[in-house]
Amino acid sequence: MNYGGNLHNTPQNLLNMAHAEGLSVVMNLIANKDNRILDHDFFVPGGGEHPASLGDSKAKLHFAEEYRPPFYGHMFFLG
């Protein structure tokens, strides 16, 4: 969601974009870049939906980690 710099996304902004696109599920990957896990504070134990999607949002928001093994490319881990 965020790699640093002056452009920052928020869970609510992801849900707003999903609503504008007519999406009902957002599966956001948290990057593990240069031995750092960015935005780790948005993880939900057990991989459940983020609390931001429990409000008046029509979309479900999940955060999971992106894993980059050398052979399989980018992988998504939920929970």
Task: Tell me, yes or no, whether 5 lies in a domain.
Answer: no
Backbone angles phi, psi at 76, to 5 degrees: -115, 125
Task: Tell me, yes or no, whether 63 lies in a domain.
Answer: yes
Task: Tell me, yes or no, whether 1 lies in a domain.
Answer: no
Q: Which domain holds residue 43?
A: 11-77
pTM of the entire predicted model: 0.76
- pLDDT (tens, 9 = 90+) of the chain, 79 residues, equals 777 778 888 999 999 999 999 999 988 888 777 777 778 888 888 778 889 987 766 889 988 877 777 777 777 766 6
The pLDDT tens digits for 41-52 are 888 887 788 899
DSSP state letter for 31: P
| CB proximity list for 42: less than 8 A, separation 6 or greater | 1, 11, 28, 30, 50, 63
Task: Tell me, yes or no, whether 38 lies in a domain.
Answer: yes
Q: Whose CA is closest to 78, among 37, 49, 40, 54?
A: 49
